[in-house]
Amino acid sequence: MTRTKAPGTIPPTALPESGDPLGEALHAFRLEGVVYARSHLTAPWGVSMPPMPGCVMFHVVTSGSCVLEGAGDGPTTLRPGEFALMPRGEGHTIKSQPNARTEDYFSLPVRRMTDRYEVLRYGGGGAETTLICGAVCVDHPAARDLIGMLPGLIHTRAWDTPDADWMLGTLRLMGAEASAQLPGGETIVTRLADVLVVQSIRAWLNQHPEEQSGWLGALRDHRIGPALVRIQREPERAWTVASLASSVAMSRSAFSARFTELVGESPLQYVTRWRMQVAGAWLQSDETTAAECGARLGYNSEAAFNRAFKRVMGLPPRAWQRHQAQTTQALAQ
């Protein structure tokens, strides 16, 4: 039985002018929901969530409590006003108590409200916990790069964040809409869930600057960050180390050394990798051919583009496109 809708792909678009490269990475979080669920669970209960690579998974407790296992360093208790985010879609379980037996979520009967929104009622009849859960996909390369550098679990207590009032307000509104079950409520809940995903990531970034290295740390550098944004905005431009260095008022040698130190690869290696990630997003949309991608990104021939794509992405464009289509189809089953 089909339980999810395959994620769509939004081709990268130009980002707005900004003096905040990290903010632009967050702007790239264009979320496409695979499934959202309102769960009414009565103790004892346990639900296992299989891995969903390429998706961000989350749980919001609106009443009661639960124990999350399999993400992070150990069991995590979630209560109202708390938000658990698994940025890389790692498999995990949520339970009424640690020893509760679990069932695979996708084997449990649900009531489908819309293509992407469903209601689950399950458990042994004891104390009730209500959750808003979801899995959303991100398609923009900047968002995928950012997700790859986040921890396996982000556990947000709304009252501990600088945005406490805003986040608590969002959580309360989600809970009210979930319990009221008014027309259009599922639309409001899913939009609020998307906001919470970005809020939670932003809160973690603000609270843990010491844990940010590589590309993520480079975004905060006042010289390298703007250079990264320029590459991301204009992947088709014939970038050279000299032109990138000039754009941030650095010498060629100093820029190259600083960029490589922070990002972990040379400027031109990053330019090529970014172009291939952008091409992958175009190819995944099924609206652009490999030849068109190569032409848009400044390659003189389709063969040259194909070689670069295989070197970075591991497969030639057409084989990679087939593989992605098969993965998307598997997620939709």
In a domain, 11, yes or no: no
Whether 65 and 187 map to the same domain: the answer is yes
In a domain, 12, yes or no: no
Per-residue pLDDT of 116-141, as tens digits, reads: 788 899 999 999 999 988 888 776 67
In a domain, 273, yes or no: yes
pLDDT at 248: 93
pLDDT for 33 beyond 80 = no
CATH number where 304 lies: 1.10.10.60
Whether 176 and 107 map to the same domain: the answer is yes
Average pLDDT over the chain, rounded to an integer: 81
Whether 130 and 264 map to the same domain: the answer is no
103/125 Cα distance (integer angstroms): 16
In a domain, 8, yes or no: no
For residues 302 and 293, the answer to whether their CB atoms sit within 8 Å is no
Residue whose C-alpha is closest to residue 136's, from 178, 198, 46: 198
Whether 104 and 31 map to the same domain: the answer is yes
Whether 136 and 50 map to the same domain: the answer is yes
Q: Which domain holds residue 267?
A: 214-331
In a domain, 61, yes or no: yes
Whether 235 and 200 map to the same domain: the answer is no
In a domain, 246, yes or no: yes
Per-residue pLDDT of 206-251, as tens digits, reads: 777 666 667 777 887 888 989 998 998 899 999 999 999 999 999 9
CATH number where 64 lies: 2.60.120.280
In a domain, 268, yes or no: yes
In a domain, 267, yes or no: yes
How do strand 117-123 and strand 31-42 relate by DSSP bridges? parallel
Distance, CA of 96 to chain centre: 27
Count of structural domains within the chain: 2
Whether 35 and 155 map to the same domain: the answer is yes
